[in-house]
Amino acid sequence: MRIGFDNDKYLKMQSDHIRKRIADFGDKLYLEFGGKLFDDYHASRVLPGFVPDSKLQMLQQLKEQVEIVVVISADAIETGKMRGDLGITYDEDVLRLIDAFQGEGFHVGSVVITQYNGESQADQFRKRLQQLDIRTCIHHNIEGYPGNIEHIVSEDGYGKNDYIETSRPLVVVTAPGPGSGKMATCLSQLYHEHKRGVKAGYAKFETFPIWNLPLRHPVNIAYEAATANLNDVNMIDPFHLEAYGVPAVNYNRDIEVYPVLNAMLEHILGENPYNSPTDMGVNMAGNCIIDDDVCREAAKQEIVRRYYSCLADLKQGIGSKEVLYKLELLMKQAGIRTGDRKVIRPALEREESTGHPAVAIELQDGRIVTGKTSDLLGASAAAVLNAVKELAGIDHGLHLVSPQALEPIQTLKTSYLGSRNPRLHSDEILIALSVSAAHSEPAQRALEALSQLKGCELHSTVLLPAVDENVFRKLGLNVTAEPKHQYNRYYHKK
């Protein structure tokens, strides 16, 4: 894979910059982490070379100074809000995050339920956390937020929130997703710390948009595509331009809230140490791009993938035409078309020639392999087998798993497990391949080649079942699909 981002440089530069920001304030820094603290696959896709857990690795260098606070809004709990990339609810993701942090040796101090207004599901979640001996705090909905500064920054505003007991100089405030109340949590803590005579500050870590890349750089446009459903818009930060005469890219929500944030910081600290919302950030990612062309191309591919993801959502009744229109506009701004995704046409041509769904995979060196639907295999399973044969230099005429070995699996599915589809999905063929690898040298080589699929592009001519989507996600394939179902019926099992 062509690399466009220096991850080692990023780890050092980023940790050094955060250390400096802690020193700027004295006793304590509340660092709001926007985006994903780990499993940041969007960043790894648009900045090839960026490791999905880079930010976690960076914090490892500060581990003894770090305390984690996880934030979730009461409304997200009440409505069962989902993380689309993982297929789990926000409250379940809180537990996943805690396990992940503690598994890496980080101290998780508290969970904060924000914007609380007596929600019953939030109460139940709090009891669950308490039963697990996880310290939990409540932050309330504040009347007049965010405009009524005098009320918010008072005993009847932030003063009613639970004070989060922290013990380390760097408090990382993170959440399962946007809109969780991370910034309000940080500001509430500044209020309480100031009352206690603690010199505490606030900063923000947001990977995208990258402030020192051009506004219309594909990497920044890809961020807009990723957040199209939130209606985020990249903008030149007018406060930064006025203060320094230098253009810097930020996004509308941070720019719009800055006057309010400025007033709050002045009210709490006596003065705002920042001249602009960009000043608040600590992100060094833009300084670690080593091949701009590679990152531009990767970002363009991501924009097309987001477009197809929106088409799939619309087909399944969960999307928005407004989001689609925005994505179409972003594609025009980036100067790209769906035809720029090279893996699409081979998949469609294979479907046309066979009359059945097909899948195509573009390998890292540009070779493209396809898989067709057959009596034994679904197109996804066939494409994976053909891809690992190609990668391992195995003759495509060789059966890695004999048809006789597949037939009992089909019988199990249809006769005992109630499936109407006898064809094997990708997970089932991989299990069969691993069994064959115990006594077959070609199957063993094919199994070892699976790791080379990471970062490869895949396109399906029909919407994929959840089982195939999950396998491809775990293998690290970047997936798109035509917005149509394989079968012409109303109910489609995921």
pLDDT tens for 425-453 read 999 999 999 999 999 999 999 999 999 99
Average pLDDT over residues 460-474: 94
Give 42-85 pLDDT, tens digit per residue.
Answer: 999 999 999 988 988 889 989 999 999 999 999 999 999 988 66
Which listed CATH number (3.40.50.300, 3.20.20.70, 3.10.630.10, 3.40.190.10) goes with 7-288? 3.10.630.10
| Of residues 298 and 319, more confidently modeled | 298
Residues listed for the chain:
494
Q: What does the pLDDT look like over 379-396, one tens digit per residue?
A: 999 999 999 999 999 999
Q: Span 322-327, mean pLDDT?
A: 96
Average confidence (pLDDT) over 343-355 = 97
Q: What DSSP element (H or E) covers 30?
A: strand 28-33
Q: What is the pLDDT of residue 488?
A: 67
Which residue, among 260, 74, 252, 257, has the nearest Cα to 175 in the 3D structure?
A: 74
Per-residue pLDDT at 299: 97
Segment 70-81, tens digit of pLDDT: 999 999 999 999
Segment 210-214 long-range contacts (CB within 8 Å, at least 24 positions apart): 210/249, 210/283, 210/285, 210/286, 211/237, 211/248, 211/249, 211/250, 211/278, 211/281, 211/283, 211/286, 212/248, 212/249, 212/286, 212/287, 213/249, 213/286, 213/289, 214/249
pLDDT given at position 124: 97
Res. 189 pLDDT band, cuts 50 70 90: very high
Rounded (5°) CA angle 195-254-298: 130
| pLDDT (0 to 100) of residue 493 | 57
Separation of alpha carbons 24 and 38, rounded Å: 26
Give the residue extent of every domain in the chain.
Answer: 7-288, 344-481
The domain 344-481 is placed in CATH, from the list 1.10.3720.10, 3.40.140.40, 1.10.287.110, 3.40.1710.10, at 3.40.140.40
Cα 337 to Cα 265: distance, rounded to the nearest angstrom: 45
pLDDT level of residue 223 (50, 70, 90 thresholds): very high
Range in 126-140, 358-372, 401-415 the model is least confident about: 401-415
pLDDT at residue 489 in the model: 63
Share of the chain above pLDDT 70, in %: 98
> Of 185, 54, 86, 171, nearest to 473 (Cα)?
86
Average pLDDT over residues 93-115: 95
